[in-house]
Amino acid sequence: MRIPATALLLALIASSPAAAADPLASLRFLVGTWQCTYQMGKTRLMYKAAFAYDMNDNWMSERDSGSAGSALGMFTYQPKEGWTAVILDQERGTTIFRASGSNPNHIVYHGSYQGTNATEVFDRVTPARYTVHFTQTEGGKTTSSTDTCVKK
All structural domains of the chain, each given as residue ranges with its CATH number in brackets, are 18-151 (2.40.128.20)
pLDDT for 77-86, tens place per residue? 999 999 999 9
pLDDT for 46-76, tens place per residue? 999 999 999 999 999 999 999 888 999 999 9
Q: With cut-offs at 50, 70 and 90, classify the pLDDT of residue 116.
A: confident
Q: With cut-offs at 50, 70 and 90, classify the pLDDT of residue 43.
A: very high
Q: What distances in angstroms separate CA 86 from CA 20, 38, 74, 75, 138, one per listed residue?
A: 23, 19, 5, 7, 21
Is the Cβ–Cβ distance between 142 and 119 less than 8 Å?
no
